[in-house]
Structure 1
């Protein structure tokens, strides 16, 4: 069978191809990252040789522009076949004969092996150098996609140009070139030829399957991220206490990993009896026991949206504020935070963030009674929330007028009679980023209409909250 031989030696087409493929990869990544228009498949197909083969191949080509040459014992150039025959003859001679010189330069297998090895060494070294550039510009330099991409590309271009120039200076007959020699010996039987063809087909199929597995990876688990962030954009400092109709701010996040575009519905609710009120955004929404905002939203595959949400509550009370995510009619995700909603005058916030409030005995802001019978105990919950990084000692003074006689109390020993001209003093210690929620105190007031004041003093600022009540009416 006549051999099929393809030889590329006159021009360095292999180096041109490596430069073109590297440039194409850089363009695809820029289009994908900057404009959102690119191919993930091509990024994988071109990215693997870009990192694991081309840098080393360019360096080896610059260092060794010649093909591998062979010489006889007298130093005269010979073909590879002649050199192999001399080697066989030398090994068959008794005593080994004279020393047989080896070839000079690199053959194809050696070039491939060294290209892989050097590429694996070059890429980490470039990353190590880039690591020291982080302090110059933390937002753009360091080990990031574009610095790594441009640095490796620059290395490929520089060594590639050097390789092209050096190869052109080598005589044509001595240049390294790509030689593809496909032939089946004439003495092969039909069975041998069929087996050889089968092996080649199996090898090509194996390579094709490997490329397919790399390029088209198996889809991972399908899921949706659903989360809430506080006002700072972090998972902290969520609203806890608020006044009636006061707006509080959170961020609602949705990340779609369902492998397709998804349509969701977001619902905020404080009561299972509430009905949907369709809105187009969560910028300014209100909630009550009968009303819950509902918003439909579409999220693309691998897209994450973060929606600003300013909400207010129209009824006082202690609530489990639920953030629900629906797919169609089915509830898919459920998050919640606990909030207390106070009437004006029953909640105060200092200039540095200390929150003070009063509630009903059970901690419900709507649980304070408007009236009680004679000698009936009024249950009041006293609360302090300290979001600062400093422990606070807070003195609470409870009175119905200007006060006169001071009595220090322990809530466990109540109830306490609170008459006009008497001030009850309660000492609280509130740890940093913690709260006292809620300290129950029982009060017994004389008959009449009273305004009970609670003055919170931490030595830096005083805050007063109060409630009115009729006794024995």
Structure 2
């Protein structure tokens, strides 16, 4: 006999006693968290494969398990004629079909409600807060459902009849009553394989839309909300003003971003060139922007995954004074070049501001 301890015994007693279906829910939550946040795994289709049931089924199932720990009855047997016995057999429980239907319906209701609550918190509706909130809700519901089942007698607890399902499926597949049943089994298996293959291909080779990145400026209004309005245009030399810069990644891949904030004194030069066209001679006029003086104020760096956003409040404290200065935000993918400019940036936004010198008293 081996003296090596069983690894299963190393787990806490409540974990070992966890019902099989709730243990599977807990495992799926943990696997989804790994698939979403692990550096290598999050780039694979496993993230979508686990994410769909995590959003559409798991929270509702855990909530239903907490609400209905009792074993429910299916269709009532015709031999069960006593009305009181019929009512007692259905008291407090729901059958498997009702449980599955409620799980989908409640999940579709719970996840948006969690997102609505997060929208009014400082964290907002982003990947990490959503994952933490949905995972936390599910695990709390699992714990509550397990405790409520343990409080019931063994014969009244809900349990998924895995063994009877497996035995029935094996008998139906390998011991059909007729050749027609055998043929139908083969068609069923092929249909399932075709459906799984189609879904797997759609997940593994998704149709990608347009790839782009967002760069935008925001301000904070009197109620504390971020809005694209009421930008500061009047600055005083050495006095800070608050702005918020944001980035949105829609590149279908993880991107390292850099943002350079520059205050530039620019001038517009009008150039003329005479070009003879087929219809006669024309004189096109175009403007060239030249930077006379510039001040590099801030540099930000961040890494974003697909559909992730980044918002950075910051202060602008100019040391260069003048009128019609261009407060420019330059976005780069990767490292910033030695001489950042509007022409070489991936994205650019700017404000025209006036900076006055501090008046002496």
Which position in structure 1 is the counterpart of 2:355?
341
Q: Which runs of 5+ in 2 are unaligned?
A: 1-17, 124-129, 269-290, 335-342
Q: Does 1:50 align with 2:72?
A: no
Alpha-carbon distance change, 185 to 175 in structure 1, aligned in 2, over 3 angstroms: closer
Is structure 2 residue 179 aligned with structure 1 residue 188? yes
Three-state SS of the structure 2 residue aligned to 1:290 is: strand
Contact 1:324 1:332 in 2 (8 A): yes
TM value normalised by structure 2: 0.53
Partner Cα distance (2:35, 2:157) in 1: 37
Relative to structure 1, is the Cα distance of residues 117 and 314 closer, same or farther in structure 2, using a 3 angstrom cutoff?
Answer: closer
CA pair 268-148 structure 1, distance change in 2 beyond 3 A = same
| Contact 2:211–2:250 (Cα < 8 Å) also in 1 | yes
Show the counterpart of 2:213.
224
In structure 2, the residue matched to 1:446 is none
Question: What does 1:164-243 align with in structure 2 at a 5 Å threshold?
Answer: 165-166=154-155, 177-178=164-165, 179-180=168-169, 181=171, 182-183=173-174, 185=176, 187-188=178-179, 193=182, 196-210=185-199, 213=202, 219=208, 221-230=210-219, 234-235=226-227, 238-243=231-236
What's the CA shift string for 1:372-430, capped at 9, x where partnerless?
xxxxxxxxxxxxxxxxxxxxxxxxxxxxxxxxxxxxxxxxxxxxxxxxxxxxxxxxxxx
Residues 184 and 330 (structure 1), Cα distance of their counterparts in 2 relative to 1, 3 Å cut: farther
Give the match for residue 304 of structure 2: 300
1:18 and 2:26 are equivalent in the alignment? no
Partner in structure 2 of residue 62 of structure 1 = 70
Q: Among residues 113, 117, 137, which one is paired with 1:148 in the alignment?
A: 137
**Residue 99 of structure 2 aligns with which residue?**
115
**2:292 matched residue in structure 1:** 289
Offset at residue 28 of structure 1 (A):
5.0
| 8 A contact 1:167–1:175 mirrored in 2 | no
For residues 191-231 of structure 1, the C-alpha deviation after alignment (integer angstroms, 9 at most, x for no partner) is x8566424421223314534665798655543323222347
Deviations 1:421-453 (A, max 9, x none): xxxxxxxxxxxxxxxxxxxxxxxxxxxxxxxxx
What are the within-5 Å matches in structure 2 for residues 91-102 of structure 1? none
Offset at residue 187 of structure 1 (A): 4.8
Instruction: Within 5 Å, give how 1:264-283 maps onto structure 2.
Output: 264-272=258-266
Distance 1:55 1:246 in 2: 53
**Separation of aligned partners in 2, 1:312 and 1:175:** 69
| Unmatched tracts of structure 1, length 5 or more | 1-14, 76-101, 275-287, 349-463, 465-473
Question: Of residues 249, 256, 266 in structure 2, which corresponds to 1:256?
Answer: 249
SS of the aligned residue for 2:292 comes to coil
Are the equivalent residues in 1 in contact too, given 2:70–2:157 (CA < 8 A)?
no
Distance 2:245 2:122 in 1: 26
Q: 3-state DSSP class of the match of 1:62? A: coil
Q: Aligned to 1:331, what secondary structure does the other structure show?
A: coil
Judged with a 3 Å threshold, the aligned counterparts in structure 2 of structure 1 residues 214 and 267 are, in CA distance, closer, same or farther, namely same
User: Is 2:313 aligned against 1:319?
Assistant: no
Offset of residue 333 of structure 1: 2.5
For 1:422, the equivalent position in structure 2 comes to none
Q: Is the 8 A contact 2:328 2:350 kept in 1?
A: yes
Deviation, structure 1 residue 251: 3.3
Q: Which has the higher helix share?
A: 2
Listed one character per residue, the Cα deviations across residues 19-66 of structure 1 (whole Å, up to 9, x for unaligned) are 211222444577789999996443434454424556557877723379
CA contact (8 A) 2:262 2:327 kept: yes
CA distance in 2, matches of 1:48, 1:164: 31
Q: Is the 8 A contact 2:217 2:243 kept in 1?
A: yes
Alignment: residue pair count:
278
Which structure has more relative contact order (CA 8 Å, sep 6+)? It is 2
Q: CA deviation at 1:290?
A: 1.9
